[in-house]
Amino acid sequence: MQNCVDVLIVGAGPVGLNLALALHHYGVSFRIIESKSQPVQTSNALVVNSRSLETWHAMGFADEAISRGLKLKEAKLFDSNRLLNHAPFSNIDSEFNFLLALPQAQTEALLIEQLTKHNILVERNTQLIKLEDKASEVQLSCQKGDIVEDIRAKWVVGCDGYNSSVREFAGIERDCEDLSQHFIMIDAKLSGDLNFDEITTVFHTAGSLIFIPMKDRVRVIAETSHDPKYKDEKHGSEEIFADILSQRHPGVAIDAVFWSSGFYVHECIAKSFKKGHVFLAGDAAHTHSPAGGQGMNTGIQDGWNLSWKLAQVLNGDANEQLLESYNTERRAVAQDVLKRSGLLTKVSTTNNRLAQLLRNFGVGGILNLDIVRSKVVNSLAQTDIYYSDSPLVDGEQISYHGKAKLPNSNMKWLLLSKDSIENKGGLPEFVKIEPNHLYWSDQPLCLVRPDGYVAMCADALFEISGYFTENGMR
């Protein structure tokens, strides 16, 4: 193995694996190390959202993922057994207008299969033990058994999770808040009065309850913070959940339990996602409430955002200024996700009776508006993100021209006619050029970044070449 690399990825959870695939697609050389001997074997992160599927489509394996998972068609909200409202995922603005239930173990297995196809191996049992960011490179030490290897990398990406050592070595602080809510969960075979292709959330005075179906089982999560019987339980069990179901959502029976766990909610965000030659992505950079299933998906988008920028800098097509936009764009998104998932957790778990009544009344009324339904599901699917405050995106022009993101990206810069973006909405059969081959055109054009986001629209071509110059790209 080369001990001098362009990029070292630390951590082969879902975020590190996704980043590795994206870097490979851009032709960047890298190594990926992982302290554990094998990938996750449990179901943990379950929901793959539409934006993640769009990026998997660009890399060529969304169909394979979909064939292994279960398409979830809508979310229903109940007050005990009374339906309050529903939000169909058909309102998601994507070819993938559903959420995919795919247990994390299967997600990681799929990503590893994709890497193996390209002869890329995760270096397992290998732990980062030292990192020093020097002026022009990062010097690292990794330990595998008794052997310590020194590695020099131009760039390091810490995808090493909540207790990130990359973050610690780089001296990046974070802000954290521990919420008081406690949850227990089981993955079980269920029968009875439940739709097995929908997410069901039940508000109850004893605590909320969520059902997320998978292909052959259902994840059941119960909030127990205020439940006098179960507030001290660390894990779910068949007996506990049979009792909870009979109280909070009768009519559903447990046939078998396959896995049980429990969790408290820690919300954290690193003060910066980049320092010198070190980047943070995924849980290393931000940790959320599992409410809304956003943690892994947000991390996948971190890698999607960073990979093309690293490729461009390493290929000499951009100066390092481009990489600063990773922190600007992704930290703003993570802050927003944290705010929303934290709020969702607090609202769905409040034990204040008046607040519960207001919540149920609000959910029953406001979700009847199509515009609200659409906003909610696009936020879950992360199809509403377009970096409008970034220097790399001219938000004003995009809102004028209508589209902020192409449904699918082909991981290249595209120059498209404005008309095709507004009216066809799909990847076009027309003008497609590399940034250094701009040519005169007589129609308004929109420039699309390799990650699929519209950078700007312009009537004159010189404005588009100005975009590249201003942002340090050639």
Ligand X SMILES: Cc1cc2nc3c(=O)[nH]c(=O)nc-3n(C[C@H](O)[C@H](O)[C@H](O)COP(=O)(O)OP(=O)(O)OC[C@H]3O[C@@H](n4cnc5c(N)ncnc54)[C@H](O)[C@@H]3O)c2cc1C
Instruction: Say whether residue 115 binds ligand X (CB under 6 A).
Output: no
Instruction: Say whether residue 44 binds ligand X (CB under 6 A).
Output: yes
Helices 104-117 & 14-25 angle (0-180, nearest 10): 30
Q: Is 202 in a helix, a strand, or coil? A: strand
Q: Which run of H or E residues covers position 327?
A: helix 321-349
Dig out the tokens for 192 from the structure. Answer: 């009875």
Instruction: Say whether residue 159 binds ligand X (CB under 6 A).
Output: yes
CB of 118 to ligand X, least distance (A): 19
CA distance 31 to 122: 8
| Contact range with ligand X by CB under 6 A, out of 12-20, 328-336, 342-350, 418-426 | 12-20
Of 296 and 457, nearer to ligand X (C-beta) is 296
Exactly one of 5, 9, 21, 47 binds ligand X (CB under 6 A); that residue is 47
| Contact range with ligand X by CB under 6 A, out of 44-52, 112-120, 381-389, 453-461 | 44-52
Exactly one of 69, 103, 236, 299 binds ligand X (CB under 6 A); that residue is 299
- Sequence-ordered list of residues with C-beta below 8 angstroms from that of 189, at least 6 positions apart, any chain: 216, 217, 218, 254, 255, 256, 258
CB of 257 to ligand X, least distance (A): 15
CA distance 377 to 454: 22
Exactly one of 263, 388, 463, 472 binds ligand X (CB under 6 A); that residue is 263
Of 13 and 450, nearer to ligand X (C-beta) is 13
108: left (phi over 0), alpha (psi -120 to 50) or beta: alpha
Residue with tokens 């094998």: 38
Of 32 and 411, nearer to ligand X (C-beta) is 32
DSSP 341: H
Residue with tokens 């057994």: 81
Of 26 and 263, nearer to ligand X (C-beta) is 263
CA distance 196 to 87: 16
Exactly one of 69, 103, 207, 295 binds ligand X (CB under 6 A); that residue is 295
Instruction: Say whether residue 407 binds ligand X (CB under 6 A).
Output: no
Exactly one of 85, 97, 208, 294 binds ligand X (CB under 6 A); that residue is 294
CB of 283 to ligand X, least distance (A): 4
Instruction: Say whether residue 245 binds ligand X (CB under 6 A).
Output: no
Instruction: Say whether residue 54 binds ligand X (CB under 6 A).
Output: no
CB of 435 to ligand X, least distance (A): 31
| Contact range with ligand X by CB under 6 A, out of 10-18, 380-388, 410-418, 450-458 | 10-18
Amino acid at 456: M
Specify the pairing of strand 278-280 against strand 147-158.
Answer: parallel
Exactly one of 11, 69, 407, 452 binds ligand X (CB under 6 A); that residue is 11
CB of 346 to ligand X, least distance (A): 18
Instruction: Say whether residue 161 binds ligand X (CB under 6 A).
Output: yes
Instruction: Say whether residue 124 binds ligand X (CB under 6 A).
Output: no
Residue with tokens 């076009």: 428
Residue with tokens 């607040």: 355
CA angle 202–205–206, rounded 5-degree value = 90
CA distance 408 to 95: 8
CA distance 253 to 239: 11
**Mask: binding to ligand X, 61-80, rule CB under 6 A, as x and -?**
--------------------
Q: Cα torsion for 40, 43, 45, 46, to the nearest 10°?
A: 140
Instruction: Say whether residue 210 binds ligand X (CB under 6 A).
Output: no
How many CA atoms lie less than 13 Å away from 261 in the CB half-sphere? 10
Of 49 and 409, nearer to ligand X (C-beta) is 49
Of 16 and 407, nearer to ligand X (C-beta) is 16
| Contact range with ligand X by CB under 6 A, out of 114-122, 156-164, 363-371, 381-389 | 156-164
CA distance 41 to 47: 16
Applying CB under 6 A, the residues found at the interface with ligand X are 10-16, 33-36, 44-47, 127-128, 159-161, 165, 263, 282-283, 290, 293-297, 299
